[in-house]
Structures are given as structure tokens and as C-alpha cells.
Structure 1
Amino acid sequence: MATSEHEQQDSSTVRIILISIGFSLMLAWHYLILFSPVFGDIGALGEVDGDYLFARQLTLYIMIALAFGALLLHGRWRMAHSKPDSRRTAYIYIIGIFSLAVGTLYVLGPHLELPFPMRLALIGILGILQAIMMVLWMRCLMKQHDGHVLSSFGIYMISGGTIAVIVCYFQWPISLIAAVILPFVSSLILAYIKTMNMRSQEKGEHEKDGNDEGDLGDASHEESGKAVGQEDKITKARNIRLIFFSGVFAFAFGLLQGSFIIVNIPILIVTNAAVLLGLVCAGLIIHLLPKSTSAILAVDLMHRYSVILFITGTAVIMWYNMGRFPMVVSQIALLAGFNLFDFGLFVFGVEGNWNVKNQAPGCDLARPVVYLSMSLGLLIGYLILKLTPYPLMFQSLLVICGVCIIMIVATTLFPLLRHSGNKTSNTEEDGEGARLEGSATSPAVMSLSAFPTSTSTLEELESRPVSPWKNACREISEQYRLSPRETEIFFLIARGRNADYIQKELVISPHTAKTHIANIYHKLDVHSAQELLDLVEECKLARRA
């Protein structure tokens, strides 16, 4: 038994390492396609063909939007018809090989003198392939992190951005070889991880057989029509806000990019690889967010930081004749601001739709909107500057920068975070467990209801003494290796809360709450809430002894 547990632990460690490497490589490839001079057709001295760059970006954005839209519809169809995930890995290998072939052909396009339409078709295909790879990897990450990946996503962004910077600084043709091989290696790792997961699932199916219904206990029967209606309203409201924020941000960035292409300043397509450090900065900001912060509060903070970065970058770049260093700094700020909020919303949307009925796993509703909005902004900005007389071009750029800043700042007037007042549960005195809500510093405390006084309250709570009950819960959480999200829910279950309360408190779907409860019961080897409470009590008594 001990040997089996040791093997399982080693397998889990290998899986985590492979996921970190594979997803970082995929992110680096994503960054290189969208932002880097390797795939950006930027000359060795930074010269820019504005017309081709405009057509390239417009094609790329539209094809990525269509790809994400198709993946979203396909995922919803599979969920609606209860289609299980394919157990085959051949399609992952095919995607990797195809990405390698198309990428090689595209980067060699100028040397092979490929015609203009063919190069646009190739970049469009690359956009479709990277969208597919992104969704596949997000599904893998969500399964590995039990549907709670936002807290660790910053590390992936840092490593992916670092790899992209290193690839750009390689000498030709090493940089091209490294760039085109990234998706192939990433697909090999993804296919291997999928094989490992299938083997683990087959090994664990016999042990879990018959326990799924029991794991849920009474919580599996608590969903009512009213709860479903409430969840639908929460999900729809959240998705509407996600789409609104994503659309405004993407349109503003597209507008800037399209207008500055005319004056040979390719925003978000860097002429200097150092600008890609903005990706590392965005990942660092996400990583430094307090781990006890709820997902929706973390995204709200990312929103505010990205607004600051956007205003800073836009205010500097509108004076584009200031010199090389200010231009690099402004583009770093713009790139960091865009990716900070864009990936924050993406991951938040994926988490919100994870295990929700009829929602596509690994994708969110805002993805197609982001790239369609960017393409629309790109087109409008390009046409405005193209039709502007040369003497008025500088004034037109100033107006566009001002409009973009106003649009981005306006999003702060409609905060992503919604709350219904200073609701608190400190009045719910239901035994020793209830006192945890007034004294704990676990992630569950940082719920939506606590947000209005979150900073001062957290400082006050951290200064309070820790109860034996809380110590017992923490020990169990660490001993059985519960994920951060499972720990949140475990604390609530240990307080006697049911699935209906948990899904409303954490703003997740009933199905997601029940899935987490089932996973917690399985890890703790209990079959009901009462057995879980008994386990906590036994641990508390053992600590006293």
C-alpha cells in the first residue's frame, strides 16, 4: 500500500513538472506568433511593412476569433450531448506535426518568396492551431489544479515569456528553428500527460466505483429549481461583464495598434525583443497577488493594474519621437497591461465555466469577442490614420490615444466585482466551527460578501488567536493534500455548510460545488458530511493529547 502511494506521488510530481514545461512552451509559442519579430515579419533593422503587418494582424485576429468560437460551440455541443472526452492522443500528435510544418513554411516564406495571400493563409492557420492548443492545455491545467488555476498562472506566464525572449535573442536560423519546434514539443508532452491521466483513471476507477453518489452525501440532493435559476443568473451576469471588459480592452488595443502601424510603430508586435519582458512583468504581478484573495477579487485587482499600465504606456507612446528608450518602456507597459487583464479574464472565465452544464470546458465566452474586438479596432484605427492628411496625423494620434484612455478608464466605473452590501456571517453562531468565519484567514474568508472591508478585516483576523478546531482542519488539509479550492470548501463543509450554501458563497455552479465535495470525500476516505466532521473531531482530540 505504501509502495503504491509512493508511486502515485512520484507520478504526480512527474506530471506537474511536465505540465509546467509543456504549457510554458505553448505560451511561448503563443507569444511569438502574436507579438514577436520572429513571426512578425520585422526586418533585422526593425523596418516595418505597415500594409502587410496590418493585413497579417487582421487575418490572425479574425481566424483566432473564429477558432475560439468554433471550439466554444463544439464544447457546448459535447456537454449538451454528454459526450466524453476522447481517449485518443493521435489528434494531439497531428496538431503538433501540422503546427511544425505550417510554422516552418511561414518563417521561410520571405526566403521562398511565397506570394502574399499564401503567407496570410499560413498565419491564419497558425492562429487556428494555437487556439486549439490553448484550449487543450487549459483543460489539462484545470484537471490538474482541480478547476482553480489562476493562483499559479503567473508562474506559467513568467516562464513562457522568458522562453519567448530567449528564442528571440538566438541568432538566425536558430531562433526560427526554436520557434517552430515549440508547439511540436508541447504537443508531445500534452499527449504523454493525457496518456498518464488515462492510466491513472483506469487504475482508480475500480476503487471509486460505486462511491460517486455516496461521496456527495446529502449535498447531491439539495439542488432545487430556485438554485438552478440563481446559478443561471450569476453565470449570465458574470459572462456579460467578462464580455464587456474584454471587448473594450481589446478594441482599445486594436485601435492603438492599427493607428500606429501607419507611422511604422507596431504596437504589440515588437521590433525589440526586450519588449517581451512585459509578458514576464504581467506574470510577476499575477504571481504576487495575495494567495488568500478570491478569484474574482484577484481579477478586479488585475483590471486596475492593467488600467494603470495602459495609461502609462499610451501617455508615453503618443510622443513617439522622444527616443528609443521611452518607446521600449511604453511598449513594455502596454504589453504587460494587455496580457495582465486579458489572461486574467480568460482564466477566470474558464474557471467559472468549468463543470458548468452546457459550458465548453477550457474555453470562455469572451475569447471570440476579444479577437473580434481587436480586429475591429485595428481596422478602424488603420483606416482613420490612412485617410488623415499628413499634416494632421500627429493630432489624430493624440485624439485616438485620448479616446483609448477614456474607454479603458470608463471600465472602472463598472467593476467586475459585485456585492450586495456588508453581509457577514459572524452572527451565525453554530458551534466552534462558526467561529472560524470570524477568525480564519483561509481563502474562504475572502469571499464576495467580505470584500468591502477585506483589507482591514484581514489584518484584524490575522492578529486573532488560532483555534484548535482551525488547526485540526489545517492539518487535515495538508495531510491529505487538498488543493487551495478544495481547502476553501473543506473549511465550509467542516462548519456544517451544504452544497447550496457553498455554491452561493463562492459564486460557483452547483455542479462544481458537488464535484469538489466528491473529490474531498474521496481524498479523505469519508462518505458523508458526518464522517468528515468526525474526522475533524478526532484530529482535534489527537492534537490535544
Structure 2
Amino acid sequence: MNDSAVASSERPGRLFSPTLSLVGFGVLLGWHFIILYQPLPLAEGFAPSEFLLARQVILNASLGLAFALGGRLLSNLPQGVTARSSAVAYAAIAVGTAGNIALVAGSALNMAWIMVAVVLIGAAEAVLTLLWLRFYSETSENYSGQSLGASAIIAALICFFSHYLAFEASALVLIALPVLSGTLLVTAARGIPLRKNDPLGAGVPDWESARRPYAKTTAQLMAMALFFGMAQGCHSPSKTLLGIADPPTILGAALAGAVIFALYARSTLLPNLSPIVNTATLLFLGGMMALPFCAGFLSQVAAVLIMTGFIFYFALTLIFVIDLVRTFDLNLTRALGANQALEYAMFAIGVISGSALWSAYENSPVFPFLISYAAIFVLIVITLFFTTERPPWEADRYKPRSLETSCGPLAEESPEECLEPEESASDVLCQRFCLTPREAEVFALLSKGRNAEFIQNALFISNHTVKTHIYNIYRKMGIHSLQELLDLLDAEEDARSEGRRARALGDETR
């Protein structure tokens, strides 16, 4: 089969383009930004700053709990069974819409009921987020970078323009956002092929190899969330340390999204994310350095830098976890649920801590410097000692030596030498089925249980090229799945072991 035939068989038609079909996650993020930062009707007896801080704490805490529980509860929900996934999405839409209506009602309810509404919103948002990002990981092609970049732009613009709408119009927008996001999710899942239906992308789950890069990324995200929350918590009616709720500040998220979108739109392979990760960290640190200087201009600069740096890192973390899940065949809802639960828990702790410290030391000129430079110190330590790893990754089970001893380009033995008894079963199969040098490299990784995404990263070739090599290997060997390949390899190893035992018995007899 030629390349064009492979492409046509692997890429059935879609109802939407990859970017347009996933703007629903941008709508979901826009809903999140509005709940966090936009003024809404207040309960009687509460100042705007008190209401905003209470809402942020409750929303972040409920998100943390919902991500932790949802990651477990949804981990066994079949992606291919659209009826069950759609039912969960529709339930989240109903809960989120009910929470929005209660929040908009505002003054007609007391504070306790408003906080219940925020809890419902957090639960619905977490479920829809997990469904959206699981969908990203399960689509047959990995375009999460473009989609998440576009989502950050859309979310920032929704929040920015909603600041300038009349109350009635902004209330309608708020109520419509979860409905629109969930409906796009259900529709897109029906129109785009899922990776689980592609046998050439399947591999063997390998959490041990993913644990280290996952932990490093999560640790830095937790630290950034903690200090971002602390800076937001330093808020009172008379003075605010971080003007994050100002409309221009949210445009920093749009800037971060535009850079990520452009980076992925121009690359057919996974781009080098290290410069973007470093830039995100430097922007966040630069904002923290400007934070203690409360002059109007510097305060706005600090807010934009912190918001831009954090959204950069937040989006890259989601992309990173999706790539990690695809490469090592992990369960996304569990991996992402734990990651996001820790992030939002640290947000809530940060807001509470910042608010408490601000109440006690608001008039101390040294206090802003202490928060700022504590954040700088912690992030520098994490960056130096827990540097975030980016693809390509090397799995613990992957031995580069296997490429050198296989019948690949690094092998210098003659065909006769390649069939000597000391050669591995993998080497024998390479010769028996006449694999090309590149196919032998791919076969060496497949024999370790690696999937298409991992091989793409390890060999620096496109996903389409990897799948073409896998198809040719399967065709030559007369198999149809990775499990059959592993069974064939096990059978060859068993046969070789039996041969060695027979020769040993023959030597003893003589």
C-alpha cells in the first residue's frame, strides 16, 4: 500500500476542522475566567472584594475536589460509547447552567446559596474539562497544541468583551457558555475518528516511565498556582496587590494562546517546547519582581506578565500531559485529574493564605517584597533541580542498544552472522521477514511495547511515516496488532530457548 492509501484509510472525513471543532474548550475556559474575575450581583452585606475572594476560594476548592473525584469516576468511561459520554456531558451542562442561573440571581439569594451555586459550577466545569481533554488525547491525530492555543485566545476574548456588555447581555452569555461548550463536545466526538479505533497507535501502558516527567511538571505548576493565588488573595476594598481582574490583564492569556497556536500550526512534528517553557517561567518571575512596586503602570505590567506566564505554563502542561498519555498509553482522566486537582487545591490555599497575610500585614512596606521574592526563590529552585522534561522521552523499558544489535543501519554483521545463535529473537525476525533498516528500528521499539507517538518522538519522524512503517511490518509478518507482534516475538524466544535446551541435552548425552 502506498503512502496516499495509508493516509486515506487512517483519516476518514470530519464534520469540522481540528481547530474549529475544539473551540468548545475555549468557551469552557472563558466561562472559568468570568466566574473568577468578573463582577456579578452581590449578596447583601458583602463588599465586592469579600465576595470575589470567597468565590475564588470556593471555585478553586470545588474544582480541586471535582478533578480528583472525576478523574477516578470517569477513568473507566469508554470513549467510543458516545451515548454514555454524551449523557455525562449533558448532565454537566444541566448542573453548570443551574449554577449560573443561581449566581446571576445574586441579590435574591443569600451568600450560602450563592456559594452552593459556585460549587455546582466547579463540578460541572471539571467534568467538561476532563471530557474535552480526554477527547484531545483520544483523537486519531495529535493537534492538542493548536487547539489549546486557540482555546486560550477564545477564552480571553470572551472574558474581555463580557466586561463591556450590559448586565442582561452578560448574564445571557454566562448562562449560554456551558451549553455551547458541552454541545460542541458531543458533536465533535461524533465527527472525529478516535485513536482507540486505530490499532497502529496502540501500545503497552507504562506509568513507571511517565512518572518522573509527570511529577516534575506538576510540581512547578503547583508552585506557580500557589503564588499566583497568594498574590490574588492580597485584595481589600482600599488596596490590591495584583490587579488581575482588570480587563486588559486577561489579554495576556490571549497573547500566550496566540504564540502556542502559531508554534504548533507551523510544525508537522512536536516542536521544541523548552524555549517556551523557559519564557513562561521568566515572564512569571518578571511579573513577581514588579509586583511589590504598586504604582499604577507597574502594577498593570506585573499583572499582565504573571497572567501571560501562567497561562503559557498552564496550556503547555495540558499539552504535555496529553502527549505523555499518548506516548505511554496512560489513562488520561486519572493523570490529568490528579494534575489539575493539585493545581486548583494550591490555588485555593494560596488565595486563603494571601488574604490572611494581607489582613495582618497590609500596611507593611516589606510584605509585598516577601511574597514576591519567596515566589522567585521557590520557582528558581524548582527550575534548577526539577527541570521539566519535554519529548522525546526515553522509556525505562527502551534500550538504545537494541537499535544497534538489530538488523538496522547501525548493524555491520553479514546476514550469516545475524543468524548466529547468540543473536536475539528480534534480530532473527528482522532477517526472516526482510525488514528494511528503518523498519528494523521501528520494530525494535514495537518489541518493547512502544506506540506510534513514542516512536515518532524517539526517531524524529512524522506520525504518518511511523504508521506507514508499522503497516509494512504488520503486512510482512502477517499480523494485525501489537499484541500479535509481541506474541510472535515470545514464540520465537520460546523456540530458541527450546533449541538451546535440546542442544545442551545432546552435549550431555555425548
TM-score (norm 2): 0.70
Tell me how far apart the structure 2 counterparts of residues 353 and 93 of structure 1 sit (CA, whole Å): 26
Tell me how far apart the structure 1 counterparts of residues 388 and 152 of structure 2 sit (CA, whole Å): 23
What are the within-5 Å matches in structure 2 for residues 156-235 of structure 1?
156-196=151-191, 212=199, 231-235=206-210
Alpha carbons of structure 1 residues 19 and 318: separation in structure 2 relative to 1, 3 Å = same
Number of the residue aligned with 2:60: 61
Tell me how far apart the structure 1 counterparts of residues 475 and 279 of structure 2 sit (CA, whole Å): 43
Alpha carbons of structure 1 residues 337 and 116: separation in structure 2 relative to 1, 3 Å = same
Partners of 2:95 and 2:120 within 8 A in 1: no
Partners of 1:352 and 1:508 within 8 A in 2: no
1:311 is aligned to 2:282: no
Number of the residue aligned with 1:368: 341
Tell me how far apart the structure 2 counterparts of residues 54 and 509 of structure 1 sit (CA, whole Å): 45
SS at match of 2:163: helix
- Could you tell me how far 1:100 is from its partner in structure 2? 2.2
Deviation string 1:272-306 (CA, Å, 9 cap, x unpaired) is 212110111111232344765976951x4333212
Which residue among 346, 351, 366 is the counterpart of 1:395?
366
Number of the residue aligned with 1:386: 359
Count of residues paired in the alignment:
431
Partners of 2:154 and 2:254 within 8 A in 1: yes
Which residue among 293, 302, 319 is the counterpart of 1:330?
302
Number of the residue aligned with 2:254: 280
Structure 1 residues 310-319 or 256-265, which shifts more? 256-265
Which residue among 330, 338, 352 is the counterpart of 2:324?
352
Partners of 1:306 and 1:336 within 8 A in 2: yes
TM-score (norm 1): 0.66
Number of the residue aligned with 1:460: none
- Could you tell me how far 1:240 is from its partner in structure 2? 1.9
Alpha carbons of structure 1 residues 424 and 98: separation in structure 2 relative to 1, 3 Å = closer
Tell me how far apart the structure 2 counterparts of residues 346 and 40 of structure 1 sit (CA, whole Å): 33
1:343 is aligned to 2:315: yes
Alpha carbons of structure 1 residues 98 and 75: separation in structure 2 relative to 1, 3 Å = closer
Alpha carbons of structure 1 residues 136 and 494: separation in structure 2 relative to 1, 3 Å = same
- Could you tell me how far 1:11 is from its partner in structure 2? 4.2
- Could you tell me how far 1:40 is from its partner in structure 2? 9.3
Partners of 1:282 and 1:340 within 8 A in 2: yes
Tell me how far apart the structure 1 counterparts of residues 115 and 440 of structure 2 sit (CA, whole Å): 54
Which residue among 22, 26, 29 is the counterpart of 1:27?
29
Tell me how far apart the structure 2 counterparts of residues 319 and 428 of structure 1 sit (CA, whole Å): 58
Partners of 1:71 and 1:363 within 8 A in 2: no
SS at match of 2:95: helix
Deviation string 1:381-428 (CA, Å, 9 cap, x unpaired) is 22122223x542x221221112112222222212112889xx999x96
Structure with larger Rg:
2
- Could you tell me how far 1:65 is from its partner in structure 2? 0.2
Tell me how far apart the structure 1 counterparts of residues 270 and 466 of structure 2 sit (CA, whole Å): 20
Alpha carbons of structure 1 residues 357 and 27: separation in structure 2 relative to 1, 3 Å = closer
Partners of 1:54 and 1:261 within 8 A in 2: no
What are the within-5 Å matches in structure 2 for residues 78-477 of structure 1?
78=76, 85=81, 87-88=83-84, 89-110=86-107, 112=108, 114-144=109-139, 146-147=141-142, 149-196=144-191, 212=199, 231-261=206-236, 264-265=239-240, 267=242, 269-270=244-245, 272-289=246-263, 297-298=272-273, 300-320=274-294, 322-323=295-296, 325-354=297-326, 356-357=329-330, 360=333, 363-388=336-361, 391-392=363-364, 394-414=365-385, 415-417=387-389
Alpha carbons of structure 1 residues 87 and 147: separation in structure 2 relative to 1, 3 Å = farther
Tell me how far apart the structure 1 counterparts of residues 150 and 410 of structure 2 sit (CA, whole Å): 35
Alpha carbons of structure 1 residues 401 and 15: separation in structure 2 relative to 1, 3 Å = same
- Could you tell me how far 1:497 is from its partner in structure 2? 4.5
One-letter amino acid of the structure 2 residue matched with residue 124 of structure 1: V
Partners of 1:252 and 1:407 within 8 A in 2: no
Partners of 1:350 and 1:364 within 8 A in 2: no
Structure 1 residues 300-309 or 67-76, which shifts more? 300-309
SS at match of 2:83: coil
Specify every segment of 5 or more residues in structure 1 that has no aligned partner in the other structure, as ranges: 436-489, 511-515, 533-545
Tell me how far apart the structure 1 counterparts of residues 464 and 252 of structure 2 sit (CA, whole Å): 39
Number of the residue aligned with 1:37: 38
Partners of 1:63 and 1:128 within 8 A in 2: yes
Specify every segment of 5 or more residues in structure 2 that has no aligned partner in the other structure, as ranges: 412-436, 458-462, 480-510
Number of the residue aligned with 1:499: 446
SS at match of 2:38: coil
Tell me how far apart the structure 2 counterparts of residues 295 and 188 of structure 1 sit (CA, whole Å): 30
Number of the residue aligned with 1:540: none
Aligned Cα root-mean-square deviation (Å): 4.5
Alpha carbons of structure 1 residues 140 and 31: separation in structure 2 relative to 1, 3 Å = same
Alpha carbons of structure 1 residues 507 and 155: separation in structure 2 relative to 1, 3 Å = same
Deviation string 1:161-214 (CA, Å, 9 cap, x unpaired) is 2233223332332122112211111212222223445xx78xx99xx8xx95xx
Tell me how far apart the structure 2 counterparts of residues 523 and 424 of structure 1 sit (CA, whole Å): 19
- Could you tell me how far 1:106 is from its partner in structure 2? 0.4
One-letter amino acid of the structure 1 residue matched with residue 228 of structure 2: F
Tell me how far apart the structure 1 counterparts of residues 448 and 471 of structure 2 sit (CA, whole Å): 21
Structure 1 residues 66-75 or 172-181, which shifts more? 172-181
Tell me how far apart the structure 1 counterparts of residues 162 and 299 of structure 2 sit (CA, whole Å): 22
Number of the residue aligned with 1:50: 49
